[in-house]
Amino acid sequence: MHFRSRNHSHRGTRAALAAALVLALSAGASAPALADAPGTDVATAQAGTGHPSTGPNVPALEKALRGLPDKDATAALVRVGGHGSWHGSAGVHDLESHRKALENARFRAGSTTKVVTSALVLQLAAEGKIDLDGTVQHYLPGLLTDAFRPITVRQLLTFTSGLQPGATLGPENAEGYENRFKTLTPEAVVASSVAKGPYRGPGEGPGKKQRYGNIDYTVLGMLIEQTTGDSYAHQAAVRIFRPAGMRHTSFPEGPDPRIHGPHNRGYQKLADGRTVDATEWNMSDRWAAGDMISTTADLEKFVVALFQGKIVPQSLLEREMLTVPHVKGATMSAGLQRYDAGDGKIIWLKSGSRPGYSTLFAATEDLSRTLVFSVNATDAKSEQRNPVAERIVRAAFALPAQ
């Protein structure tokens, strides 16, 4: 069962929204110390159309981007749309040259990839090629052992499958950095999850509890390939990127650790105190859960087309992507996250983070306000809020400072 709450009585939650949004973001040489990098003003700021009372708060957005690079981020790229538009960038391309950041740079978009995966599955469902109530056991016979109860496609989409996380190459601020050129295939990730068996205990089982993670969407990538007889990346290109005009969005070729095309360097603080260049990193294990490379302009096109019903049919968009499952504590739908900002404002969003890059796109359902940003966070996988990202969210959605 699903529900769409439209209770707008939570007027005291606006101050908490930005914190929740940002919390959701959730052997090279060492980089130069950030303390050696002089702060810069906003390198590019462009205001578009919009009435002052409903358009973006340009002074607040410009203020949010000032002072980069700092200890929390080396650069930031931002696009705000809806009733009026604005885009800006700040910071540096890299810590060696201190050239200004490229505003149209490509970046690792992390888990925003999951929304593309969800949209692909829902397109296939609209075409009658996938039944959302059909099971993994039916579509991918032999993938799961007899220890697993039937898991539906919808439960994968809503992170309620009961699958345990798969293998990783280690924390990004420790051995994960040392292993960044190694390959861990999606198949190996899923096999390691299956070997653990399902979550067990009172209240466990498919559809009983929502646990956000990569494993469900890795299995969905396999389902897309099995159903279409085509690669996941090609299906994403022909079904979503090309129709939406996303000319600068792609996936790496297998274990290729590079970001091709213009991009700003990404940096990661390590547990031993070093700050290292994390731009080159093999992300093949993230695949359909987090391997996409994109731009802020392309992600803005995607979110607008999605909410306009041009990517997923409107009925499925409403029922699956703009509805959270009736599971205690659930905040995620089929790929998106729901936040009630109070005063009648519901925001749907998805964040993503990979070493050196934190990404978010968010929108009100009527597209009166959209936000896309990429922040070159120096600890993108931290559970703590990134102050730069928090300032951007507050400025874009006119949320009060704490």
CATH number of 344's domain: 3.40.710.10
Region 55-84: what's the mean pLDDT? 96
Region 30-48: what's the mean pLDDT? 54
The model's pLDDT over 188-222, given as tens digits with 9 standing for 90+, comes to 999 999 999 999 988 899 999 999 999 999 999 99
Region 25-32: what's the mean pLDDT? 45
Report the distance separating Cα 23 and Cα 26, nearest Å. Answer: 5
| Residue-level pLDDT at 106 | 98
| Residue-level pLDDT at 24 | 44
Q: Please give the mean pLDDT across all residues of the chain.
A: 90
The model's pLDDT over 277-332, given as tens digits with 9 standing for 90+, comes to 999 999 999 999 999 999 999 999 999 999 999 999 999 999 999 999 999 999 99
pLDDT category at 51 given cuts 50, 70, 90 is low
Region 350-372: what's the mean pLDDT? 97
Which residues make Cβ contacts (< 8 Å) with residue 106, sequence separation at least 6? Answer: 248, 259, 260, 261, 262, 263, 293, 294, 295
| Count of domains observed in the chain | 1
Q: Is residue 155 part of a domain?
A: yes
Q: Is residue 89 part of a domain?
A: yes
The β-bridge relationship of strands 44-47 and 337-342 is: unpaired
Q: Is residue 357 part of a domain?
A: yes
User: Rounded to the nearest 5 degrees, what angle is found at the Cα of 368, between the Cα atoms of 124 and 89?
Assistant: 90
pLDDT at 47 over 90: no
Q: Is residue 402 part of a domain?
A: no
Query: Is the distance from CB of 235 to CB of 221 less than 8 angstroms?
Result: no
Alpha helices in 66-167 (DSSP H): 113-126, 136-139, 153-157
Report the distance separating Cα 288 and Cα 233, nearest Å. Answer: 8
Nearest to 98 by CA among 242, 221, 264: 264
The model's pLDDT over 112-126, given as tens digits with 9 standing for 90+, comes to 999 999 999 999 999
pLDDT at 18 over 90: no
Report the distance separating Cα 213 and Cα 93, nearest Å. Answer: 31
Nearest to 186 by CA among 81, 113, 126, 239: 113
pLDDT at 90 over 60: yes
The model's pLDDT over 363-399, given as tens digits with 9 standing for 90+, comes to 999 999 999 999 999 999 888 889 999 999 999 998 7
pLDDT at 162 over 60: yes
| Residues of the domain holding 361 | 2-396
Fill in the amino acid letter for 72.
Answer: D
Which residues make Cβ contacts (< 8 Å) with residue 8, sequence separation at least 6? Answer: 340, 342, 343, 344, 345
Lowest mean pLDDT among 54-58, 106-110, 259-263, 361-365: 54-58
| Residue-level pLDDT at 44 | 60
| Residue-level pLDDT at 12 | 37
Q: Is residue 401 part of a domain?
A: no
Report the distance separating Cα 265 and Cα 268, nearest Å. Answer: 10
| Residue-level pLDDT at 2 | 39
Q: Is residue 165 part of a domain?
A: yes
Q: Is residue 194 part of a domain?
A: yes
User: In a 3-state reduction of DSSP, which class is residue 374?
Assistant: strand
Q: Is residue 351 part of a domain?
A: yes
The model's pLDDT over 245-269, given as tens digits with 9 standing for 90+, comes to 999 999 999 999 999 999 999 999 9
User: In a 3-state reduction of DSSP, which class is residue 315?
Assistant: helix
